[in-house]
Amino acid sequence: MKRKLRFKFKISENDVKAQIKDYLTIKGWFWFYNLQSIGSYGGIPDFIAIKNGRTIYIEAKKPSGTQSPDQINFEWNIKHQKGEYYLIDCLEDLIKIIG
């Protein structure tokens, strides 16, 4: 009987953030990271990226991550104003969005 090898690889939110940073840079986007702290707007996403007049808001999560109520509210406000807000938990999602 052949044994199946099973690998358990867990990707962290920091891994996702690193992939986002690298890919945005490679694709020529101007981006910056938002560090949440006292006085920050509640729920502000991890990244704001701009290229050729297009602005996108990106919240990075590990694959099993969930948004806080403030993040959900921020997403609603951006989308209500016809903005682009994305919840990214893997590099493939970002590739689909920006190419």
Q: Considering the domain boundaries, does residue 3 fall inside one? A: no
Using CB atoms within 10 Å of the CB of residue 92, give its burial: 0 to 12 exposed, 13 to 18 middle, 19+ buried.
Answer: exposed
Q: Please, what are the averages of pLDDT over each run of 10 residues along the chain (99 residues)?
A: 61 94 98 90 96 98 93 97 97 95
Domain of 82, CATH number, reads 3.40.1350.10
Q: Considering the domain boundaries, does residue 6 fall inside one? A: no
Distance CA 91, CA 99 (A): 11
Q: Considering the domain boundaries, does residue 1 fall inside one? A: no
State the total domains in the chain. Answer: 1
Distance CA 50, CA 28 (A): 9
pTM of this prediction?
0.87
